[in-house]
């Protein structure tokens, strides 16, 4: 009897350990990485600062839209864009989120954004530092999509209004909760199989995306910068 127990006990413990590892793998959370909800650990400051410096060096260019889509063109005055699908990024901490923030324009007056209290429809006022609380702002447009397609993506994001914030930054595959860059990335990925993640912060156990990646991506064009 004792020999049987000595055999069964290690086997049972091994099964439990295996199940634990499986749970972590399915949630993109390895056992050795216990800080996946800590933005300071997920997005190291030195790396983020370097990417912000790179974003500051990027030229502001006209909207890259294709003529057949009759895309609106930004004029030479670096004016704030106001059409659906433009991605807005700030490297500043915002409303309890220290990692920077991103939103997607829904129309002239509104944006869709995932905040710490969930996915919201917000004011399209990022050009006004006093009203928006954002001192530094970038606006980027996705190169491969038309005006119509970007409107579809904006409405995709808006359909998730009310979903909670996703504090597990490495779990970008979920559609039950969202952080800001995850929501916008999901919109382009699910609608048109276009992945805007640059893999700068990815790990072997999961993908993760910082808002500044939208600015530095070779799939977008910087069309506005303030601050």
* Residue carrying the six token digits 């009759």: 70
Tokens of 224: 């506005």
Strands 118-123 and 137-142: unpaired
The verdict on 25 and 72 lying in the same domain is: no
The verdict on 48 and 1 lying in the same domain is: no
Phi, psi (rounded to 5 degrees) for 56: -70, -25
The verdict on 6 and 107 lying in the same domain is: no
The verdict on 101 and 196 lying in the same domain is: yes
pTM for the predicted model, two decimal places: 0.80
Residue 220 and residue 181: Cα distance in Å, rounded? 14
Query: Mean pLDDT: which of 17-21, 24-28, 63-67, 171-175 is highest?
Result: 171-175
Percent of the chain with pLDDT over 90: 59
The verdict on 116 and 149 lying in the same domain is: yes
Query: What is the domain extent for residue 23?
Result: 1-32
Q: Structurally, how many domains does the chain consist of?
A: 2
The verdict on 27 and 44 lying in the same domain is: no
> How do residues 115-130 score in pLDDT, each as one tens digit?
989 999 999 999 999 9
The verdict on 102 and 126 lying in the same domain is: yes
The verdict on 178 and 133 lying in the same domain is: yes
The verdict on 127 and 25 lying in the same domain is: no
> How do residues 174-207 score in pLDDT, each as one tens digit?
999 999 999 999 999 999 999 999 999 998 888 9
């Amino acid at each position: 009897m004792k020999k049987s127990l000595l055999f069964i006990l290690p086997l049972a413990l091994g099964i439990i350990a295996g199940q634990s590892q499986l749970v972590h793998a399915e949630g993109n959370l390895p056992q050795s990485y216990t800080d996946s909800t800590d933005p300071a650990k997920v997005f190291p400051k030195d790396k983020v600062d370097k990417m912000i410096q790179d974003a500051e060096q990027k030229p502001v260019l006209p909207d890259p839209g294709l003529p057949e889509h009759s895309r609106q063109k930004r004029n030479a005055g670096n004016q704030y864009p106001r059409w659906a699908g433009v991605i807005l990024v700030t490297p500043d901490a915002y409303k309890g989120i220290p990692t920077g923030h991103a939103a997607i324009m829904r129309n002239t007056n509104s944006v869709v954004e995932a905040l710490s209290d969930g996915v919201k429809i917000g004011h399209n006022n990022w050009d006004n530092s006093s009203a928006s609380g954002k001192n530094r702002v970038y606006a980027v447009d996705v190169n491969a999509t038309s005006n119509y397609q970007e409107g579809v993506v904006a409405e995709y994001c808006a359909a998730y209004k009310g979903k909670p914030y996703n504090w597990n930054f490495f779990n970008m595959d979920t559609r039950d909760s969202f952080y800001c860059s995850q929501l916008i990335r999901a919109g382009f990925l699910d609608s048109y199989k276009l992945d805007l993640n640059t893999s700068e912060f990815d790990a072997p156990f999961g993908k993760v995306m910082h808002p500044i990646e939208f600015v530095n991506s070779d799939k977008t064009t910087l069309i506005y910068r303030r601050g």
